Amino acid sequence: MIPLAGLASAALVLTGCANPSTGSADDDPTKPVTIKFWHGWSAPGEVKAINDSIARFEKLHPNIHVQATGNVSDETINQALRAGGSKAPDVVTSFTTNNVGQYCSSGMWADLDPFMKKNGIDKNKVFPKTLLDYTQYEGTQCALPLLADAYGMYYNKDLFKAAGISRPPHTISEMKADAAKLTEKNSNGTLKRAGFMPNFRLYQNSPDRMFAQWGPEYFTKKGKAQLAEEPKTYAFFKAMDDISKAQGGYGKLERLRGSFGDEMSAQNGFLTQKLAMHLDGEWRGLMLDDAKAKFDWGVAPLPVPDDQAETYGRGYLTGTVAGVAHSSKHQNAAFELVRYLTTDTEQVVDFANAIHNVPSTFAALKSPKLDADPSFQQFIKIAQNPDSQAIPPSNNGGQYITSLQDFSYSVEEGKVHNLKKGLEDLDHQIDADNLQSEN
């Protein structure tokens, strides 16, 4: 799944005290029924892949007819769930894990634990812990991982060889040194190429994705924001600033970024070799192949802090999630589809291979039928790394990540003169936003 622009930071307008339409889990899933499945896939290849999955499901469950609707946003899905009625979907999906806290706390998505218990599914033996963590909130498992996205570092092997660099960097200090070696300037001092651009407005470079390499704790056990009290926050911002300065500074990097084309275009900064190292997800490899990149490239985990060198191999994880609408009158039949899409090993592997995403179950991750491409396998390893991290769920969805992102823009632009005070204000803002969502 290729993230839609802005989707990762989108926050839905839901409240913790929402009153979802009442559905039913009394239906007999062996009786003839039509269920409505709303999803966000829109690219032709992705739509074909999900339709093929539905066809396989219907062959196994001839009594259940699935009426699929694609290219549906989270906002549209949740408007329909608030309204309820016969036109609302039974099975729902989302491309972002940021809003799972809202799905669960609002009650719009049904708790799936009773369905799994009834069907003898031990979720802890099926799904990696990190993926389970981002599909539940405060004990309510209102979603299951469908496919995962893992983030790593693409690097230009030709440029590395020319610079005399034998392997991708493992630590932040190595990345800083390599980035400086790989940076190329024009005769007027402007940048022709950056070794690595830490700027937060670049493509997939949202701060939470890079911050994951530090393994931060965003909240206390009582749910209070603690970025100002987390030493890793300060280390993270310093590291990003140091890498930036090693290549000429934020201003020069921003000017170079302005010369890049759209992320999904042939003028992508990495594809045009204006970036030697680049943070991205597993889908980028397929796009590089389709574009017939004119250089040799590889994939490695993003470097980690020097004092956490033993965690090298970790990365940021997110993914597509699936659930059953609380308003559905056919919740048992709906769960049959969710169970098939998320736990059937052959289905998960086939779907992952078809759309070049990371599978989300232990069995599928180890399947010999999984795409054996070396670059894709790097993301499989990142997804399985116990130190890989997803953002913690919140009843305010991804709003706290949006707040962190806005704050990070100000930090890199040099507008925050007292980082501790700025982070304390950010914590207060996050807590206030979360409290408002509860009321």
pLDDT of residue 258: 96
Please write the tens of the pLDDT for every residue from 93-127: 998 888 888 889 888 999 999 999 999 999 999 99
Say how far apart CA 56 and CA 208 lie, in whole Å: 37
Q: Which H or E run includes 45?
A: helix 44-60
Please write the tens of the pLDDT for every residue from 133-181: 999 998 999 999 999 999 999 999 999 999 999 999 999 999 999 999 9
Share of the chain above pLDDT 90, in %: 78
Residue 81 pLDDT level (bands cut at 50, 70, 90): confident
In 273-370, which residue ranges form alpha helices assigned H by DSSP?
A: 283-290, 331-343, 345-355, 362-365
Name the residue with tokens 């016969």. 86
**Phi and psi, residue 52, nearest 5°:** -65, -40
pLDDT of residue 7: 41
pLDDT of residue 439: 60
Q: Which two tokens stand for residue 368?
A: 């010999």
Residue 143: DSSP 8-state = -
Say how far apart CA 15 and CA 88 lie, in whole Å: 19
pTM value?
0.88
pLDDT of residue 9: 40
Say how far apart CA 29 and CA 26 lie, in whole Å: 9
Comparing CA positions, the residue from 209, 210, 208, 229 lying closest to residue 219 is 229
Say how far apart CA 207 and CA 182 lie, in whole Å: 23
Sequence-ordered list of residues with C-beta below 8 angstroms from that of 89, at least 6 positions apart, any chain = 36, 37, 38, 69, 77, 80, 81, 325, 328
Most confident of 103-112, 278-287, 404-413: 404-413
The pLDDT of residue 17 is above 70: no
> Helix, strand or coil for residue 91?
strand
Domains in the chain, CATH or no CATH each: 7-149+317-384 (3.40.190.10), 152-311 (3.40.190.10)
pLDDT of residue 1: 59
Region 422-431: what's the mean pLDDT? 96
Region 298-327: what's the mean pLDDT? 96
> Helix, strand or coil for residue 188?
coil
Please write the tens of the pLDDT for every residue from 219-273: 999 989 999 999 999 999 999 999 999 999 999 999 999 999 999 999 999 999 9
Give the bridge partners for 137, in sequence order: 140
Residue 394 pLDDT level (bands cut at 50, 70, 90): confident
Task: Give CA angle at 316 (50, 232), nearest 5°.
Answer: 160
Please write the tens of the pLDDT for every residue from 170-220: 999 999 999 999 999 999 999 999 999 999 999 999 999 999 999 999 999
